[in-house]
Structure 1
Amino acid sequence: MNIRVGIGYDVHPVFVGSKGLFLGGVKVSDSLYLSGHSDGDALCHAIVDAILGAASLGNIGNEFPEDHSNRDRRSLEFLSEISEAIKGRWQLLNVDTVIVIESVRLAGFVRSMTENVAEALGVGSEFVNIKPKSGNGSSPDFVHAHAVCLLREVE
């Protein structure tokens, strides 16, 4: 049995504005947003990179380049497409994540983010774990997301 682990990381600056700040496909702020080519959802981006890494398929920039077709796209779509791309070859066993954000408290959003990510990946929510952290003053103007996933080769 072939089992692989992947790690993903993403960071986006936080700005004031009404575009909305999305993490795990959930709008967690109406007055802030993450700068990015797509919706800037650093959590989804880190998970995509973790899955791609575990499957030896490169990184998010190769799969979803910063071109017109990906401009302002919802990052949950990236998760769904990557999940579909590995289907039949790899089974996602779990995803564990950490989000470091100081400008928004995420505790009230974790369940919705977990459900969104799990649905996009086509797995039960018990296979997705999201841990928000405050950063304790270390990075007030950025959101950092870390993700680890475990894949098992389908035989």
Structure 2
Amino acid sequence: MNTRVGIGYDVHPIVAGSKGLFLGGLKVSDSLYLSGHSDGDVLSHAIVDAILGACSLGNIGLRYPENSSNKDRRSIEFLKETADLIKGNWEVNNVDSVVVIEEIRLAGFVQSMIDNVASALGIESELVNIKPKSGNGSSPGFAKAYAVCLLRRVE
């Protein structure tokens, strides 16, 4: 099998506070944050899960458990480490993702988020797509992300 597809999903509650809200490794708010063991970056988490799933390597909770070494870590580091883990066997062909958050309009942040994700994965920015959605009242107080990735076996 020369290609594999993986899907990822994550959700975290939004909390008021000055820790900063990170999506795709980019701080998009100084007054809100995503509650979680790490920085709660749902976009990075969903992409990690998509890659791990495509490689049959479990999920983010198995690879990065809630322990002292992962407490408050930046999730973009998880993404880089996951890319390093599969290097030599698989390469990311593309990532398509959706981020749902009502509290912050992300349009002005999308290209920087794309660039951060692509850099962490070691791929060109044109291979990453991030679609921000407001949720239209369906999920206030939460941020969600969905991601799909296509991997290609390295010959």
> Normalised by the shorter chain, which TM-score bucket?
over 0.9
Distance 1:3 1:134 in 2: 32
Counterparts of 1:113-128 in structure 2 under 5 Å?
113-128=113-128
Structure 1 outlier segments of 4+, above 4 Å: none
Q: Work out the CA distance in 2 between the residues paired with 1:113 and 1:97.
A: 11
Structure 1 segment 2-151 matched on structure 2, within 5 A: 2-151=2-151
Pairwise CA distance, 1:153: 1.0
Deviation (angstroms), 1:105: 0.2
CA distance in 1, matches of 2:8, 2:119: 19
Residue 84 of structure 1 aligns to which amino acid in structure 2? Answer: D
Paired residue secondary structure (1:9):
strand
Distance, in Å, in 2 between the alignment partners of 1:66 and 1:15 is 19
Q: Secondary structure at the match of 2:61?
A: helix
- Give aligned-pair identity as a percent: 74
Q: CA deviation at 1:20?
A: 0.7
What is the one-letter code of the residue matched to 1:39?
A: D
Instruction: Give the deviation of 1:154 after TM superposition.
Output: 1.2
CA offsets 1:14-72 (integer angstroms, 9 cap, x no match) = 01111110001111011100001001100000000000000110000110000000001
- 1:43 and 1:76 map into 2 onto residues whose CA distance is 9
Q: TM-score, normalised by structure 2?
A: 0.99
Aligned residues: 155
AA matched with 2:46: A
- Partners of 1:112 and 1:152 lie apart in 2 by 25
Between the aligned partners of 2:47 and 2:78, the Cα distance in structure 1 is 10
CA RMSD of aligned residues (A): 0.6
Unaligned runs of 5+ in 2: none
Instruction: Name the SS of the counterpart of 2:9 in structure 1.
Output: strand
Q: TM-score, normalised by structure 1?
A: 0.99
